Structure 1
């Protein structure tokens, strides 16, 4: 998942922006928590909790920087959520892990917001996972995965973080094994195989007491036929079913189309149902798959209103559009009704809505997004395919629980 730029302190309240699941936080802003090697009797911890059900259930990602401009975890109704994933921490080349925002995690209010997470956990009964990596913090996974000493440091650091802060497990968001993430990232062609060993080492340290999940690209081809092996080790795999279009692409498109556009997509971006089918075909047990949906969309200025703005030349990227922003700004006056001069189109073939507005200077604003109806459809698809979970990036982008209600209802009813 790719994430938003996370800034600390007063600046963050004014300028925090989501960049595309998951954030651009940099590696030099964290604080070393000194979670190095520790002596832990793993055998004594195995079996102390019942084996977890396969799959994540309803999975909600929460980014710690959201408290600056949107909501801390205690301000969100999490009814129906089974797992909350706390994002993000990062990893150094030696395998040590560290917070990307010390203030948010440990200092704000005198204690930080992780205690608020644990209070919400007690209230709602969900599990919690510490997510490590993300779009901007995956630079060192490759260096750790290939190095046995670094892998040991990493696994013991993850174990200690769970013990110290009450997490039920860790979520690894390596973007991506073998490359394809940020240019600064270390990578090797053997990364998908080394990832298997990293996961094995982590499972050996965790036993059955703590959970492991991983976040994976919608493109299963990134993993060199190792997905079946990941599925044998982890408790579940989160498929990131979004970002089929990027911020710099030349033509507009759908961020998260459920099905193929039968009229033809000139960008050949792919679609969600194709991705989930590919993971099953790769040998992963559907019960260990969780489909992540986007609670955000994207907007561009396009040069033409033809085809209701879809597949038109992009003049400039506008912004990522949280669903909450679409509702608060009146671009959607109801979950299904456009406002502020926009015209809504629902694309029956792709099962995806868009908005289009003509601007005074002659350009057009085009918006691709998900609404409650499409979130429900995706949840129902996952349920029909026997998936163990559905989820979203990310919970603070919702508006008055409209998308969460749709996600829970589509999967659990």
Structure 2
């Protein structure tokens, strides 16, 4: 009789030797914005896993863009290790995943790609790699190479990569709320095999609301309410398909999204007979200007698509620095009122004269999500990105993963779901 190893044994062999002693916080540092936040300004205290973001795919492998100097890479790794963080580098992202598919579509290419990753890690001292191929067998930005066998090829590549870099290094991935897709375009029936090779996945449970939405709404709702999906639904999709909850980091966005509403008054809507939500309002389709760096100057993306529109995004800290929020984030200012929506467990700002709606996460909502994540057996959370949050938000996240979720002064809402 042949004896086969159990999935648990396979997992022990295939993943790294890292054992987390406490819930983790991961942080993505956008190296392309080093002028706005230097390596020294990264919140290292709250970066158990620190992601250098981003190297982009090419037809033959990957490269660090020319505007990201190698001196920053060296400094990033050095300071991460000094702070006790695990430095990883990310490959891909929204604009950098064009050639992921073609880099892993044959065994020979998988071997070449894995060796390139191993050599880059060794050159700079990284302790892991983050595969930011967010949409295998999905278009993503619109011009990514796609193959119906992308998910199967990714799994085959992970086996090669683990063998190449060994078990002392981390393999993580940024993944979508929709999971890995099969040849038919639907989520695979099982993600269990991927769990044997990934140390962690970073679940991007944000960008659920945005300029594509029919109504206003949160960037990252805890519950679905009237959104397309939610934090809770996204985690359930992954765990019900066999991916270990203990290897999931829940994403928390440090940026806000904004809309121009049709009315200067908010209308309450009934949700499932349980909630009254004011988060979902009719809007004009016009995205207002976001934070200080937002621009509608003509631009062309990596696909060659031209646009001239605002993103409507704000860094959370800029809502405070630009005086849309009070210094402690508890109240709106400059004509804005802060609301907290109990159904989605997220705050938003509304200015009736400007008809400007801004949905975001803060210390209250982030701590609720972090606490919920730990109660579900998740490994922790990650933040995208390091530029957005103030220190008090990180403190609330860290505290909530060990204690009862904190609330901002003056905020009242139902937290009974935390015990569910």
Shorter-chain TM-score bucket reads 0.7 to 0.9
Give the equivalent residue in structure 1 for 2:320.
Answer: 327
Give the equivalent residue in structure 1 for 2:388.
Answer: 397
1:174 aligns with 2:133: yes
Give the equivalent residue in structure 2 for 1:407.
Answer: 397
Give the equivalent residue in structure 1 for 2:56.
Answer: 90
Write the deviation string for residues 69-101 of structure 1: whole angstroms up to 9, x where unpaired: x2112123421321101101012233x22002x
1:99 aligns with 2:64: yes
CA–CA distance in structure 2, aligned partners of residues 252 and 221 of structure 1:
28
Write the deviation string for residues 195-232 of structure 1: whole angstroms up to 9, x where unpaired: 11111111110111211001111123644235211111
Equivalent of 2:172 in 213, 237, 262:
213
- Root-mean-square deviation over aligned CA pairs: 2.0
Q: 1:259 to 1:248 in 2, by over 3 A?
A: closer
For structure 2, which runs of at least 5 residues remain unmatched after alignment? Answer: 1-12, 182-186, 268-277, 289-311, 404-420
Q: 1:309 to 1:225 in 2, by over 3 A?
A: closer
Equivalent of 1:290 in 238, 249, 263:
249
CA contact (8 A) 1:56 1:83 kept: no
The CA deviation at 1:250 is 3.7
CA–CA distance in structure 2, aligned partners of residues 407 and 255 of structure 1:
18
CA contact (8 A) 1:140 1:185 kept: yes
Give the equivalent residue in structure 2 for 1:35.
Answer: none
How high is the TM-score relative to the length of structure 1?
0.80
For structure 1, which runs of at least 5 residues remain unmatched after alignment? Answer: 1-46, 107-111
How high is the TM-score relative to the length of structure 2?
0.79
1:67 aligns with 2:67: no
CA–CA distance in structure 2, aligned partners of residues 240 and 364 of structure 1:
29
SS at match of 2:208: coil
SS at match of 1:292: strand
What stretches of structure 1 move > 6 A for 4+ residues in a row?
none
Write the deviation string for residues 40-75 of structure 1: whole angstroms up to 9, x where unpaired: xxxxxxx9xx8112698210110102212x211212
The CA deviation at 1:119 is 3.0
CA contact (8 A) 1:242 1:255 kept: yes
CA contact (8 A) 1:259 1:351 kept: yes
Matched pairs, number: 349
SS at match of 1:354: strand
